[in-house]
Structure 1
Amino acid sequence: MHTSLDCLPCFLTQALKGARLAAPAREDIHQRVVQEWAAEFANLDLTLSPPALAGRLYALLADSVGDVDPFRGYKEQSNMQALRLLPRLDALVRQQADPLRAALGVSIIGNYMDAGVQLVVDVEDALSREDIGAVDDDTYVMLRQRLTPGASVMILGDNAGEIAFDTLLVRRLAEAGCVVTYVVRGVPIINDATMEDARFVGMTDLCEVVSSGVDTPGTVLERCAPGFVDRMASVDVVLSKGQGNFEALRDNFADAFFAFKAKCPKVAGLCGVPQGTSMLHYESS
């Protein structure tokens, strides 16, 4: 997915948010970061995906505030909130006629926990009012047919907090006999999940967890660790979580299922759905 002009104001909002979290009392740093990002706009290749460009811009933030994780507190709070909700959600999922579909729906609603977009949603409220089974029927049937016993499934994770909800999905896939690998980012970037988050929420106790190696808020193929893309291409099912992974991989990787919330007007318009829709989308070559 190419970057649009509509993405540029969002980048500036992310710059200011990150600078304020990293250096709360330093208005001079906030100003410098925003101005540096704005100046960089003249040099951006808008044919690249938003996550690819965001990774480049966040490097400017690191230059100004040092090697810190400004969203660490947000991530910890998100993980704790999701873990608190898990027992009730696990019971809810198990009560459904199709627990796998319900677990997938819960994990998609968990994608609201995203510090990189301007849409702010109370995930607990969303879980109480949204239909957890509301995913595209035809795409779900296609996905379900491929989740046979012994099938290798790679889940490309997205955000902290959301990764805790994803444990419900991993449990249901394991019950279906699938062999699951869960993927996290290589380094902290916005509130995306890393290996530290995977350990904290217990994902490492459920399945193999690996790092894609990326330093971008999405699985940008050219930024992946050596051998990772080949491994991704070799599995039976790739289930890509989150809008950032959709933006990075759409048009760039064949044969993937995308599960995410359409959180920005640009992506919602591209998908032809209202903003906030739970998306289960399939892309093939």
Structure 2
Amino acid sequence: MRITDDCRDCLLSRVQFQAALCTEDKGTIEEAQRAARSLLDTIWNDDVPAPVIAGAVHRCCYRTVGSTDPYRTLKYKDTLAARDVVAKIRPLISDFNSAVCAAVIGNAMDYGVLGHSISEDFTNYFRHEFSKGLYHDDSEEIAKLTRRVVYLTDNTGEILFDKILIEELKHLGAHVTVAVKDAPILNDATLDEARDAGIEEVADHLTTTGGGAELGINLDLIPPDLASAIKKATLIISKGLANYESLSDYSNLPPVAYLMMVKCEPIARILGVPKGVKIARLIR
């Protein structure tokens, strides 16, 4: 997926948000915004997926404010909150389909989209969304393809809901390779957060998507173990918007199950669904 005009204001708003997480100095925040805007204007027409452009803009902001992980405190808080929520809602998860729904609801733990916020009472939010179910649900078809799975995670906190789904995948007899970000970008999960969440306890293999602080996934930068896992996979489970924006640009992949809350208009238009809905869509 290529970047759209809708993406500009969203991306620059996230630059302001994350700069303010690092400093109260208005001059530094404004400098980060100017640098990000200048870079965005320079690379706007590059023929690359949207996450490549967005990732470069975020890294520019990080350099300007002097932080490699602006979301560190928020990630810690989200992990604590998610543990509490999972303890309360775990009895609701009884099978693969309900685990898919739970993992999609977890995708709401996201700071990367203008206009989207995380509920302060995530337990009640989860219960409400769980009762509604998914707007589009290909869980039954997805379950048939789970012999060898590559699971591309998204946000910290969210991965505790992913852990539930990985457990259900193992119950189905799946071999599961989980890939997290190689370095901090937004509030995406890295190896540190994945290990803290206990992903190594349930997955067969834990790796990264490579490339450092990259949004989504760039198949030209992935490490050899992930490349091998994708080559052998019968299914890729892709969490979140940036992974969709990345993978939708590639062909000759195994079937991909896109699990996400559709938080922005460009992706809603491409998928033909309303903004704000939850989907588990299988694309072969």
Do both proteins adopt the same fold according to a TM-score greater than 0.5, normalized to the shorter chain?
A: yes
Shift of 1:41: 2.5
Shift of 1:88: 2.1
CA gap of 1:155–1:68, structure 2 versus 1, over 3 A, is same
Which residue does 2:256 correspond to in 1?
Answer: 256
Which residue does 1:144 correspond to in 2?
Answer: 143
Distance 1:170 1:222 in 2: 26
Shift of 1:238: 0.8
1:130 aligns with 2:126: no
Shift of 1:225: 2.9
CA gap of 1:276–1:197, structure 2 versus 1, over 3 A, is same
The 8 Å contact of residues 263 and 276 in structure 2, kept in 1 or not, is answered as yes
Shift of 1:260: 0.6
Count the aligned residue pairs.
275
1:115 to 103, 111, 118: 111
Structure 1: gaps spanning 5 or more residues: none
Distance 1:172 1:120 in 2: 28
The 8 Å contact of residues 21 and 70 in structure 1, kept in 2 or not, is answered as yes
Shift of 1:14: 1.0
Which residue does 1:59 correspond to in 2?
Answer: 59
CA gap of 1:106–1:234, structure 2 versus 1, over 3 A, is same
Q: TM-score, normalised by structure 2?
A: 0.91
Distance 1:196 1:238 in 2: 22
Q: TM-score, normalised by structure 1?
A: 0.91
Give the partner amino acid of 1:108: V
Distance 2:50 2:111 in 1: 15
The 8 Å contact of residues 2 and 46 in structure 1, kept in 2 or not, is answered as no
Which residue does 2:208 correspond to in 1?
Answer: 211
Which residue does 1:245 correspond to in 2?
Answer: 243
Give the partner amino acid of 1:212: T
1:175 to 171, 176, 179: 171
CA gap of 1:140–1:33, structure 2 versus 1, over 3 A, is same
Distance 1:199 1:181 in 2: 14
Identity among equivalent positions (%) equals 26
Which residue does 2:30 correspond to in 1?
Answer: 31
Shift of 1:217: 2.1
Distance 1:107 1:43 in 2: 37
Shift of 1:157: 0.3
Q: CA RMSD in A?
A: 1.7
Shift of 1:227: 5.3
Deviations 1:126-166 (A, max 9, x none): 312123642534x323212223xxx1111100000100111
Which residue does 2:187 correspond to in 1?
Answer: 191
Give the partner amino acid of 1:113: M
Distance 1:43 1:225 in 2: 29
Distance 1:131 1:81 in 2: 17
The 8 Å contact of residues 166 and 176 in structure 2, kept in 1 or not, is answered as yes
1:18 aligns with 2:15: no
Partner of 1:131: helix, strand, or coil? helix
Which residue does 1:221 correspond to in 2?
Answer: 219
Decide which moves more: 185-194 or 127-136: 127-136
Distance 1:222 1:8 in 2: 25
Which residue does 2:98 correspond to in 1?
Answer: 102
Decide which moves more: 275-284 or 180-189: 275-284
Shift of 1:197: 0.6
Structure 2: gaps spanning 5 or more residues: none
Shift of 1:49: 2.1
Shift of 1:226: 4.4
